[in-house]
Amino acid sequence: MTDENRSAAVQSSPDDSAIRTRNGGGQAGGGAGPASPIAPPPDTRTANATNPHRKNRGPVYAALDLGTNNCRLLIARPHEHGFRVLDGFTRIVRLGEGVSVTGRLGEAAMERTMEALRQCRNKLREHQPARMRLIATEACRAAENGPAFLARVKQELGLELEIVDRRTEAELAVTGCADLIEGAAQGALMFDIGGGSSELAWLDFRGGRPKSQGRMSASIRSWQSLPVGVVSIAEKFGGIDVTPQSFEAMVSFVSEHLRQFRGREKLRQMIGTHPVHLIGTSGTVTTLAGLHLGLERYERQKVDGLWMKRGEVDETMRVLLGMPFERRVGHPCIGRDRADLVLPGCAIFEAIRREWPTERVRVADRGLREGILISLMDADRARTRSTRYPPRRQSNG
């Protein structure tokens, strides 16, 4: 694939739902257009949102997540118990392409990313968010020239991105997905399979569950950031022609890293004695869900929040492993830009499932951007409450 084609490839994203609620649902989703999950039509839901004649309906917030594989932007306004999506952008840029080999961001990858960030800059100018947070993750953390690239972004585009540490990345992912954790669960293992790293967080609710979604990260008992993601695994083992043998080699490689997880055995024991489930947020897991459902085009409202049983995951992975590369390219829930990455992602998922076997996994088509928005909005709500109801002064009388 040429760099131009790769830059132009737009992935289906969580922006299909105009309203995100905190109960795992969405409203006013979908939209007409070509039935392609890989290159959906431009998001037109915001045509009225920026009409200058409309009354102000509250502050606008924005979150940008620049990862190893994707550049994602979400712009929203608080709405009841969640938020209303005003605009969104997702593009595969493969910023981290080759970083695991060279230790540096490549010129072509940086140019693809600059073009995507330029479009994000334009959307931010259009919506003028009151508060925003723009983050960069593993590719910029790992690359020797990551900070220099972000300095260029600031100079040329006026966007100031912060490189967040792995703990922050895990906490934001938990915040973004927290409302998909089953109410009866006493624990959950949340995993986010990225392009250059994968985050795991063990949530333990036996001492009580936080009432606020924005405080769910307080229940993290243990977490780990694996230095493996779909891009780095594909570069190490290959992602085009994957045999059962090479797939097992990928799984074994990831499993070596999982053995370092603090509390590994205690989590296994908890799974055996308490209601615990997995919750996965990544293109890998949402792709598996789309395949399982037999979708002819990706539909977020059917995938986000879907429960998959262990046997259903087994069967879907078996089918995917037997699918030649060209069939993966042509599949509406995979496409050319994910065809060489989906099996490396499945290997990471499989290693997690073998290490901590649970009966079910819940699929999340959400993550860091949603976590950022929720954190910003919750912080402002708390600030408003403290201003409205200041602490009473102690009387000396």
Which residue in the block uniquely carries the two structure tokens 């699929």? 363
pLDDT, tens digit (0-9, with 9 covering 90-100), for 328-367: 999 999 999 999 999 999 999 999 999 999 999 999 999 9
- For residue 164, pLDDT beyond 60: yes
Q: 386 pLDDT band (50/70/90 cuts)?
A: low
Mean pLDDT of 157-172: 96
Q: Where are the domains of the chain?
A: 3-167, 169-368
The pLDDT value recorded for residue 217 is: 80
The pLDDT value recorded for residue 82 is: 85
pLDDT, tens digit (0-9, with 9 covering 90-100), for 371-384: 999 999 998 987 77
The pLDDT value recorded for residue 218 is: 81
Residues 134 and 64: beta-carbon distance below 8 Å: yes
Mean pLDDT of 242-257: 97
- For residue 36, pLDDT beyond 60: no
> Taking every pair of C-alpha atoms in the chain, what is the biggest distance, in angstroms?
82
> Are the folds of 3-167 and 169-368 the same?
yes
CA separation (Å) from 355 to 173, 174, 276, 277? 21, 20, 14, 13
Among 208-212, 242-246, 312-316, the least confident range: 208-212
- For residue 122, pLDDT beyond 90: yes
How far apart are the C-alpha atoms of 346 and 321, rounded to whole Å?
9
- Phi-psi group of 121: left, alpha or beta (phi > 0 → left; psi -120 to 50 → alpha; rest → beta): alpha
The pLDDT value recorded for residue 214 is: 66
Average pLDDT, the chain: 86
Alpha helices in the chain (DSSP H): 3-8, 99-102, 107-127, 138-142, 146-157, 166-177, 230-237, 244-258, 264-273, 283-293, 300-303, 310-321, 325-330, 342-355, 368-388
The pLDDT value recorded for residue 70 is: 94
For residues 32 and 318, the model is more confident at 318
The pLDDT value recorded for residue 388 is: 58
The pLDDT value recorded for residue 390 is: 59
The pLDDT value recorded for residue 383 is: 78
Tell me what percent of the residues of the chain surpass a pLDDT of 90.
74
**Nearest of 222, 253, 247 to residue 342 by alpha carbon:** 247
CATH topology of domain 3-167: Nucleotidyltransferase; domain 5 (3.30.420)
The pLDDT value recorded for residue 2 is: 32
How far apart are the C-alpha atoms of 282 and 169, rounded to whole Å?
14
Burial string for 121-147 (b: 16+ CB within 10 Å, else e) reads: bebbeebebeebbbbbbbbbbbbebbe
Residues 167 and 137: beta-carbon distance below 8 Å: no
The pLDDT value recorded for residue 332 is: 92
Q: 275 pLDDT band (50/70/90 cuts)?
A: very high
What is the gyration radius of the CA atoms in the chain, in angstroms? Answer: 21
Mean pLDDT of 251-273: 96
How far apart are the C-alpha atoms of 192 and 169, rounded to whole Å?
9
The pLDDT value recorded for residue 208 is: 86
pTM over 0.85? The answer is: no
Q: 41 pLDDT band (50/70/90 cuts)?
A: very low
Residues 301 and 18: beta-carbon distance below 8 Å: no
The pLDDT value recorded for residue 389 is: 58
- For residue 17, pLDDT beyond 80: no
> Counting Cβ atoms within 10 Å, is residue 265 exposed (0-12), middle (13-18) or buried (19+)?
exposed
- For residue 289, pLDDT beyond 60: yes
CATH number of the 169-368 domain: 3.30.420.150
Among 42-51, 143-152, 378-387, the least confident range: 42-51
